[in-house]
């Protein structure tokens, strides 16, 4: 009798595990392909200023690029940077899912400011070879220069 109870308990636990596996979260929908175009897309932008006048001294140049599928690649001046971008009407821009590698960097705080600028960007303005980001409060976050 004891063996029968153990076997039944084992079967109940196996059935519960199977049901739990079947009733798990639904799979995330596949990433929607977007097609971006405009003067910001398919262009490398090098960091020029943070705010209106602060130049950062980083181990390597900070830069980013948005491809036509909305993928962002670049560097925060220390680490590789990747994520997504979306462009909207009235020069609206939104960076999301930004991530960086985690290399030790003596100017880590400045590199984090570069990533923070992208995460906070709300609108942009292009003037000749310059790209300026503004926050939601219309404050200038920083400027970038088109790479040759």
Residue 32, pLDDT score: 54
In a domain, 39, yes or no: no
Contact indicator for 98, 79 with CB cutoff of 8 Å: no
Q: Which residues pair with 145 in a beta bridge?
A: 46, 130
What confidence category does residue 1 fall into, taking pLDDT thresholds of 50, 70 and 90? low
Contact indicator for 79, 63 with CB cutoff of 8 Å: no
In a domain, 4, yes or no: no
Give the structural domain span for 141. Answer: 44-146
Q: Is the pLDDT of residue 68 over 80?
A: yes
Residue 52, pLDDT score: 85
What confidence category does residue 13 fall into, taking pLDDT thresholds of 50, 70 and 90? very low
The Cα-based distances of 13 to 7, 16, 17, 20, 89 in angstroms read: 10, 5, 6, 10, 55
- Look up tokens 């405009």; give the residue: 38
In a domain, 35, yes or no: no
* CB neighbour class for 123 (10 Å; exposed up to 12, middle 13-18, buried from 19): middle
- Determine the Cα–Cα distance for residues 87 and 85; give it in Å rounded to an integer: 7
Q: Is the pLDDT of residue 110 over 50?
A: yes
Query: Considering its fold, how many domains does the chain have in total?
Result: 1
Higher pLDDT, 148 or 139: 139
In a domain, 31, yes or no: no
| pTM, to two decimals | 0.74
CB 65: neighbour CB atoms within 10 A? 17
């Amino acid at each position: 009798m004891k063996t029968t109870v153990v076997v039944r308990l084992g079967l109940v636990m196996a059935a519960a595990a199977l049901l739990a596996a079947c009733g798990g979260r639904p799979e995330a929908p596949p990433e929607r392909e977007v097609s971006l175009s405009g003067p910001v897309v398919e262009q490398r932008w090098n960091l020029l200023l943070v705010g209106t006048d602060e130049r950062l001294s980083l181990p390597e140049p900070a830069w980013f690029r948005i491809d036509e599928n909305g993928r962002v690649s670049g560097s925060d001046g220390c680490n590789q940077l990747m994520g997504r971008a979306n462009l909207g009407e009235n020069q609206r821009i939104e960076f999301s899912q930004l991530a960086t590698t985690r290399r030790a960097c003596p100017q880590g705080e400045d590199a984090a400011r570069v990533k923070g600028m992208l995460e906070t960007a709300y609108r942009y303005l292009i003037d000749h070879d310059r790209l300026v980001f503004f926050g939601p409060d219309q404050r200038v976050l920083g400027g970038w220069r088109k790479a040759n």
